[in-house]
Amino acid sequence: MTITIGLFGFGKTGSVVAKEIINDFECELKWVMRESAMHEGEYASKLLGFDHSEGKIYRIENICMDQFFKHNRVDVIIDFSSSSAVNVYKEAVKYGSKIVSAISNYDQEDIRKLKELSRQTAVLYSPNITVGINFLMEASKSLQKIAPNADIEIIEEHFRGKQDVSGTALRIAEELGLDKEQHVNSIRVGGIVGKHEVVFGLPNQTIRIVHESHNRAAFGQGAIYASKWIMGKETGIYSMEQALSLIMSGEEDLEKDAERFIADVPIKTS
Ligand SMILES: NC(=O)c1ccc[n+]([C@@H]2O[C@H](COP(=O)([O-])OP(=O)(O)OC[C@H]3O[C@@H](n4cnc5c(N)ncnc54)[C@H](O)[C@@H]3O)[C@@H](O)[C@H]2O)c1
Ligand SMILES: O=C(O)C1=N[C@H](C(=O)O)CCC1
């Protein structure tokens, strides 16, 4: 079965995510919605170097949303745009679309609306949708149980232009019961895609757990994994940790799914 996908955002991350979706044999990128007028009416696939037409680009301002979602229904909407986009795709859920949101930092009112949508459809929300960061999270929680007296600091590093504090780092602090103001340290330099480190300081040794995304394709692969997972879910709000729980518990073989996040996926030609 092919999963049809609508993508919000075609910036630094959305454009790379689009490429991963187009490359995936089980997914079809039906459309891309963006705020800017750049490449409006063109196909994401063509811009990304494919021969076929997939993922027509629309500009949010020029669309009548209710009519659009009615005539361009998709199984899953993936959001890599901005906090306020939830106000737009709330119209889509009445046509049965499920939501995968990767927005790192939500305004309070927007996250409330996202949660409200989960009464009508399945919504997965993750400030860091890579598979690997969820291993860091689990490993950090285990270590904290073993060494409850360790000093713990979280270091997050991102590209120079990223304005907000990493939503992932804030989530890690929350999971470890740490004061976010005090224990999250941010570095903004150059083009770092995303690096998170949890440092455990003990009297005679230091343990560091590090995850780094080298390429934004890691976010695309995570979002595709989440989309496939959410297809089997009814209404409710879900996290990436839940989507990965079978892999984490060893009940599902990571090898089986490895090509989704580790290896290169073959190019789809049709
Ligand atoms: N969860 C994750 O793993 C993860 C990973 C990377 C980025 N992100 C998040 O994704 C978002 C986008 O990141 P980016 O680096 O690509 O930003 P960017 O500024 O490069 O791109 C943003 C894109 O979204 C579009 N946009 C903005 N508001 C919109 C709206 N209301 N409706 C439709 N389109 C809209 C813009 O036109 C642009 O195409 C940020 O919140 C970022 O933190 C999350
Ligand atoms: O590109 C971004 O912005 C990212 N933000 C996430 C965060 O805020 O934690 C992590 C992934 C990249």
pLDDT digits (tens, 9 = 90+) for 32-68: 999 999 999 999 999 999 999 999 999 999 899 889 9
| Confidence at residue 251, expressed as pLDDT on a 0 to 100 scale | 66
- Point out the catalytic residue in the list 158, 183, 196, 211: 158
Question: Residue 220: CB within 6 Å of ligand 1?
Answer: no
Q: Is the pLDDT of residue 262 over 90?
A: no
Average pLDDT over residues 2-27: 98
Q: For the chain, what is the mean pLDDT? A: 92
Q: What is the ipTM of this complex?
A: 0.97
Look up the CATH number of domain 3-129+216-261.
Answer: 3.40.50.720
- Residue intervals of the chain classified under CATH 3.30.360.10 are 131-213
Band of residue 141 on the pLDDT scale cut at 50, 70, 90: very high
Average pLDDT over residues 139-158: 97
Residue 115 annotated as catalytic: no
Q: Which of 27-41, 77-91, 247-261 has the lowest mean pLDDT?
A: 247-261
- Residue intervals of the chain classified under CATH 3.40.50.720 are 3-129+216-261
219 CA from centroid of ligand 1 (Å): 12
d(CA 214, CA 217): 9
Q: Are 167 and 105 in contact (CB under 8 A)?
A: yes
Q: Which atom of ligand 2 is closest in space to residue 170's alpha carbon?
A: 9
- Could you tell me the pTM of the whole model? 0.92
CATH classification of 131-213 is 2.40.128.20, yes or no?
no
| Confidence at residue 245, expressed as pLDDT on a 0 to 100 scale | 82
| Confidence at residue 129, expressed as pLDDT on a 0 to 100 scale | 95
